[in-house]
């Protein structure tokens, strides 16, 4: 059985860990409030941008106007996957879940001859290096997400798709639902093709100066907005997952401290009882 000094040392160590986990939980909760407000503000804009582009592209398709980023290729020989994770750990299964989702996508696309990866976040880069995956680009240390980060990531992807280097771009990230729930998602980023709206009435648009110039501005902006949304979803999900993980860790330290304290008292009581027995035995011997 461990000595009283060893148990006391363990209790002190767990108490220090508890202070760290409690502080990290408070920091994550403060960051989560800001990140949650940012993603809630960005979602309506991103949804409206996509729906507007779908309506405009569908209306202009009949007139022959199109954009290179809207053209769907029948044969998918080269696919680029954009994996978004966090830079830091201590956030439970947040990064493991999106990595597992990526593995499922890789298994489903076994017929694709070539897969390449754009990695956002240090954990994504470590995941790809361990498995020796072909890396096109990597972005780490982003910190607080800004629109400039999304543009920096999206522009090389759009260039490679327009030049025919890749036939499809898939965005894989964690969608923020709540502090307890983050759902891995995969979204086709390119081609940014409109969905079929045959059963819906199309809104008529009058384009000035012409459709090509409108699409030239609208399509790249929509792609950047989609990447920006994914970064914000990932940021909010990371803080929520870390807050939940640190709250669970704090509860575990409380349980450990209680258990160690009980053990400490039992060992101390046993030592006192032993000393008393020795004193009484010695007195009787005299």
Q: What is the mean pLDDT of residues 166-172?
A: 93
> Does residue 207 surpass a pLDDT of 70?
no
Q: What is the mean pLDDT of residues 51-70?
A: 69
CATH architecture of the domain covering 28-244? 3-Layer(aba) Sandwich (3.40)
Distance, in Å, from the CA atom of 200 to the CA atom of 178, rounded to the nearest integer, reads 33
Helices (runs of H) and strands (runs of E) counted in the chain: 5, 5
Distance, in Å, from the CA atom of 206 to the CA atom of 52, rounded to the nearest integer, reads 13
pLDDT per position as a tens digit, 111-163: 667 899 999 999 999 999 999 999 999 999 988 999 999 999 999 999 999 99
> Does residue 98 surpass a pLDDT of 90?
yes
Share of the chain above pLDDT 90, in %: 59
Question: Locate tokens 């729906």: which residue?
Answer: 51
Catalytic residues, by residue number, are 91
pTM of the full structure:
0.86
Distance, in Å, from the CA atom of 8 to the CA atom of 3, rounded to the nearest integer, reads 9
Q: How far apart are the first and last CA of the chain?
A: 32
Confidence of residue 210 (pLDDT cuts 50, 70, 90): low
Q: What is the mean pLDDT of residues 26-51?
A: 90
Domains of the chain: which residue ranges? 4-21+246-285, 28-244
Q: Which of 58-62, 88-92, 157-161 shows the lowest mean pLDDT across its residues?
A: 58-62
What 8-state DSSP symbol labels residue 68? G
Q: Which of 171-180, 197-206, 231-240 shows the lowest mean pLDDT across its residues?
A: 197-206
> Does residue 64 surpass a pLDDT of 50?
no
């Amino acid at each position: 059985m461990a000595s009283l000094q060893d148990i006391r040392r363990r209790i002190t160590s767990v108490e220090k860990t508890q202070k760290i986990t409690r502080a990290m939980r408070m920091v994550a909760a403060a960051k989560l409030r800001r990140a949650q407000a940012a993603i809630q503000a960005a979602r309506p804009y991103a949804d409206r941008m996509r729906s507007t582009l779908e309506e405009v592209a569908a209306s202009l398709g009949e007139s022959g106007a199109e954009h290179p980023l809207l053209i769907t290729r029948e044969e998918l020989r080269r696919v680029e996957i954009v994996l978004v994770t966090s830079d830091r750990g201590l956030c439970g299964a947040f990064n493991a879940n999106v990595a597992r989702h990526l593995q499922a996508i890789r298994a489903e696309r076994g017929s694709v001859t070539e897969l390449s990866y754009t990695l956002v976040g240090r954990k994504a880069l470590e995941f790809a290096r361990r498995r020796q995956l072909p890396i096109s680009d990597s972005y780490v240390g982003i910190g607080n997400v800004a629109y400039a980060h999304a543009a920096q990531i999206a522009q090389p992807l759009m260039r490679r798709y327009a030049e025919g280097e890749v036939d499809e771009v898939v965005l894989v990230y964690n969608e923020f639902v709540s502090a307890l729930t983050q759902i891995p998602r995969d979204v086709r980023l390119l081609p940014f093709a409109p969905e079929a709206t045959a059963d819906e009435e199309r809104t008529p648009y009058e384009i000035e100066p012409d459709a090509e110039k409108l699409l030239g501005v609208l399509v790249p902006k929509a792609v950047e907005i989609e990447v920006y949304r994914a970064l914000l979803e990932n940021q909010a999900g990371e803080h929520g997952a870390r807050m939940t993980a640190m709250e669970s860790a704090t509860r575990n330290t409380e349980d450990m401290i209680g258990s160690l304290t009980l053990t400490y008292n039992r060992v101390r009581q046993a030592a006192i009882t032993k000393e008393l027995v020795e004193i009484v035995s010695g007195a009787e011997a005299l």
